[in-house]
């Protein structure tokens, strides 16, 4: 997983704001920031001294937790304004490589690495080295220049909204504290950090909601029994709504530019939370109703295949939720089987990597690859141009939808039209979505399933709320891949021979890595996994419950899925599957 610098940290233009209720001196935010960072440094330095004195494990854990709580209180400003440092502060305890330099493999560092050391068999020398490295990072943060420029009101408010999403998607799910499971207490610290900032802005409404959220957490702090659904719906999302309302009423708006979240959307579960244009090419190729209609016609046309018999819909059948229901599809020559299962196109637009192996960065590039693949369509977009030009309806439609192009029918415009149709296949109108908006109900069993999904079962630490795919919050700019150890066949102790992302990056840690797919409509899109090895969700859940490949006696050196059994009962698994059914559109 990689965390990139968030889009808003690029060039920021000045906004003239009006009807401001109360604005603190920028130095007040800066002073708060320094006081929070100094508190983290104090705790870490105390922790480092304890390690050096060889204090017992209980003492070390106590001071480690204190350091984590101090960090979480400061994380609203640190995580937002210094995102490039996040990996070294609180990134996952997994080796990683950058996509643009896959040969360079980085070792993990930060709080999660120290947590693993501390809750296992600690090597005090290594533990102290990690702690001291973290101290140096926080010292460098504390000495950063030009903070007056960074802490602009609109950015500080956006940081608070971002922190609220992080709280929901990563905080209460155990992502940040996978071993100690101190997630609930840490979430209280995040809320205290929000309070610290809002007091500077004199915002009584969100402060009142945050106080209620804190009280709920303090009274319900058992990780496994915590009612996450109630907390998100009745406490966390109202905080987000209130922050959004404060922004609109006070004028703390960001410049209108490309970013994944629509700042005018006022709920984490709004159908307009995500801006589809962020996941699209530039302004020239934005989707519109005409391009969607044209793309839809092309999607059902066999004009691109060499045999002029295969269509996109042949594998992505709408009646099967845009899959084909097969383990793997047949190639253009029916005797040839393709290597990978057909994924749904519903919600496919909301990611930044495409194909199971993440080799394409846009839908347009993916479409190009599919058409030219010798086993899939064995076609040519260039050759299809002549066919389209001879088709008056298509030719006229391209002229209308791409009027500024000297040649309207081009390979890219064809791909863009079909991609526009695919981008339209996202409704955010499942029963779960409607429940979060107060317009539908869930059963007690479905609610129990969500709480297991986002808690004990740790599903939400890879399938992130609210998209339920691998697009990493709160930046929503990087699509994650995982190494699960998927078997070649059900019950086999031999790993599937598909090497996934490694096939094009050649980075050793990407062997058998596959993109984390969406779970929306998952109960309707069997079979499962990249090779279609499992026919039912019960089989999938059994695989995860046993620790992935390790539980199948498949031992991959780079498995990223935690190998510990989840210890879910059959009843709990049924509840999780019941919840997953509420994600059907």
CA distance 337 to 322: 19
How many CA atoms lie within 13 Å of 513's alpha carbon, on the beta-carbon side?
25
State the CB neighbour count (10 A cutoff) for residue 302. Answer: 15
The stretch 279-292 carries a mean pLDDT of 94
pLDDT digits (tens, 9 = 90+) for 115-127: 999 999 889 999 9
Nearest to 518 by CA among 349, 361, 370, 369: 349
Predicted local distance difference test score (pLDDT) of residue 334: 83
CA distance 226 to 569: 18
State what percent of residues in the chain have pLDDT above 90.
90
Please work out, in degrees rounded to the nearest 5, the angle formed at the alpha carbon of residue 175 by the alpha carbons of 171 and 179: 115
Please work out, in degrees rounded to the nearest 5, the angle formed at the alpha carbon of residue 34 by the alpha carbons of 259 and 8: 10
Predicted local distance difference test score (pLDDT) of residue 259: 94
The stretch 140-155 carries a mean pLDDT of 89
Predicted local distance difference test score (pLDDT) of residue 335: 86
| Higher pLDDT pick, 158 / 25 | 158
End-to-end CA distance of the chain: 28
Q: Report strand pairing: 101-106 vs 96-98.
A: antiparallel
Contacts of 44 (CB under 8 A, 6+ apart): 67, 131, 134, 135, 138
Q: List, in order of start, the domains of the chain with CATH numbers.
A: 7-273 (1.20.1420.20), 279-423 (1.10.760.10), 431-581 (1.10.760.10)
Tell me phi and psi for residue 89, to 5 degrees.
-100, -50
Nearest to 161 by CA among 102, 241, 228: 241
State what percent of residues in the chain have pLDDT above 70.
96
Query: 147: pLDDT confidence band, cut at 50, 70 and 90?
Result: confident
Nearest to 523 by CA among 470, 584, 464, 570: 584
The structure tokens listed for 106 are 């980085």
Predicted local distance difference test score (pLDDT) of residue 3: 36
How many CA atoms lie within 13 Å of 408's alpha carbon, on the beta-carbon side?
16
**Residue 278 pLDDT > 70, yes or no?**
yes
**Residue 233 pLDDT > 80, yes or no?**
yes
């Amino acid at each position: 997983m990689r965390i990139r610098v968030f889009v808003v940290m690029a060039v920021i233009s000045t906004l003239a704001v009006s009807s401001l209720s109360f604005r603190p001196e920028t130095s007040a935010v800066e002073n708060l920031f320094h006081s929070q960072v100094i508190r983290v440094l104090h705790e870490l330095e105390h922790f480092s001294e304890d390690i050096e004195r060889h204090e017992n494990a209980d003492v070390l854990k106590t001071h480690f937790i204190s350091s984590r709580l101090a960090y979480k209180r400061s994380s609203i400003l640190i995580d937002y304004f210094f995102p490039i440092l996040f990996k070294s502060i609180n990134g996952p305890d997994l080796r990683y490589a950058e996509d643009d330099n896959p040969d360079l493999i980085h070792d993990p560092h930060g709080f999660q690495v120290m947590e693993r050391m501390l809750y296992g068999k600690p090597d005090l020398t290594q533990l102290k080295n990690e702690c001291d490295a973290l101290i140096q990072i926080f010292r460098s943060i504390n000495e950063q220049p030009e903070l007056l420029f960074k802490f602009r009101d609109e950015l500080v408010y956006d940081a608070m909204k971002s922190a609220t999403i992080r709280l929901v998607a990563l905080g209460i799910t155990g992502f940040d504290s996978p071993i100690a499971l101190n997630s609930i207490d840490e979430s209280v610290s995040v809320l205290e950090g929000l309070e610290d900032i809002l007091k500077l802005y004199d915002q009584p409404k969100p402060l009142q909601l945050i106080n209620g959220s804190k009280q709920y957490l303090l009274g319900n702090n058992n990780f496994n029994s915590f009612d996450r659904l109630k907390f998100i719906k009745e406490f966390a999302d109202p905080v987000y709504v209130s922050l959004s309302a404060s922004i609109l009423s006070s004028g703390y708006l960001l410049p209108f530019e490309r970013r994944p979240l629509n700042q005018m959307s006022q709920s984490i579960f709004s159908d307009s939370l995500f801006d589809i244009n962020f996941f699209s090419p530039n302004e020239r190729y934005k989707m519109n109703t005409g391009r969607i209609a044209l793309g839809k016609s092309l999607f059902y046309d066999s004009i691109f295949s060499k045999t002029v018999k295969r269509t996109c819909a042949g594998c992505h059948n709408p009646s099967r939720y845009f899959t084909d229901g097969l383990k793997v599809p047949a190639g253009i020559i029916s005797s040839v089987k393709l290597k990978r299962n057909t994924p749904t196109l519903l919600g496919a637009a909301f990611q930044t990597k495409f194909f199971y192996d993440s080799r394409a960065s846009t839908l347009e590039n993916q479409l190009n690859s599919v058409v030219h693949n010798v086993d899939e369509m064995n076609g040519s977009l260039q050759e299809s141009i002549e066919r389209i030009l001879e088709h008056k309806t298509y030719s006229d439609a391209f002229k209308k939808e791409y009027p500024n192009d000297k040649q309207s029918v081009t390979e890219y415009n064809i791909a863009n039209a079909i991609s526009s149709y695919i981008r339209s296949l996202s409704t955010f109108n499942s029963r779960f979505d409607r429940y979060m908006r107060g317009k539908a109900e869930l059963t007690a069993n479905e609610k129990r399933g969500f709480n297991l999904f986002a808690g004990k079962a740790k599903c939400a630490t890879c399938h992130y709320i609210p998209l339920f795919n691998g697009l990493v919050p709160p930046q929503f700019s990087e699509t994650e891949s995982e190494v699960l150890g998927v078997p070649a066949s059900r019950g086999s102790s031999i790993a599937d021979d598909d090497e996934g992302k490694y096939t094009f990056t050649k980075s050793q840690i990407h062997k058998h890595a596959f993109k984390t797919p969406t779970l929306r409509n998952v109960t309707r899109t069997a079979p499962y996994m990249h090779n279609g090895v499992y026919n039912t969700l019960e089989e999938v859940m059994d695989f995860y419950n046993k620790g992935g490949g390790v539980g199948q006696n498949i031992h991959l050196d780079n498995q990223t899925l935690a190998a510990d059994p989840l210890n879910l009962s059959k009843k709990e698994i049924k509840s999780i599957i019941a919840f997953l059914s509420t994600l059907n559109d």
